[in-house]
Structure 1
């Protein structure tokens, strides 16, 4: 479940980063703030079961990669193969962190068994 929180936080991060750049009306700014709150809440929930360094690394790496793709697809950002190479390195790193990280075990729940 913790990894779903990290995924949710990274997805919502795309919305609030775009909102920070393009919001103009009060309603758009409110939506951006709500997205920030949801994203950080999901990070906090993930940190209850995963090491915070891992959560932060995966959150920022996957969010940054997603934002670059959104910029390419929706906002006509300059595309280069060098950017794609480095984004691929980030994605490989995020996958590597996920594969090598174990969720924290609730020792109180384990002792109750």
Structure 2
């Protein structure tokens, strides 16, 4: 269950980075709403990360949390913000995903 909580925490990390990107492109009330989404996502991400680290090793949990966030943010950047999607960028995104899976496989149950 805490692995699921950890992945959700990583998805909220993607949420707060996406909100920052959207706020940067917005003005006025719209930007303020994106900043509110940033703070909400940041808070939920930290609360869920804290919950997951109560039973998962801290180093593993942090590695997975940042990995999910990095992969998700890179993919959002490619899809939403039209960032480059060249071979090497996609290759290293794949290696991050493989590393996250590897941490799950070798972690004590």
TM-score, with structure 1 as normaliser: 0.85
Contact 2:2 2:52 (8 Å CA) reproduced: yes
Q: How does 1:1-113 map to 2 (within 5 A)?
A: 1-23=1-23, 24=27, 25-103=31-109
2: distance between equivalents of 1:30 and 1:91? 29
2: distance between equivalents of 1:27 and 1:62? 24
Greater mean alpha carbon deviation, residues 6-15 or residues 41-50: 6-15
Q: Which runs of 4+ in 1 moved over 6 A?
A: none
1: distance between equivalents of 2:85 and 2:55? 37
2: distance between equivalents of 1:62 and 1:6? 9
Q: Is the radius of gyration larger for structure 1 or structure 2?
A: 1
Contact 2:20 2:34 (8 Å CA) reproduced: no
SS of alignment partner, residue 4 of structure 2: helix
TM-score, with structure 2 as normaliser: 0.88
Structure 2: gaps of 5 or more residues: none
Structure 1: gaps of 5 or more residues: 104-113
Q: Deviations over 1:20-70 (max 9, x none)?
A: 222253222122101100000000000001011100000111210111111
- RMSD of equivalent CA atoms: 1.2
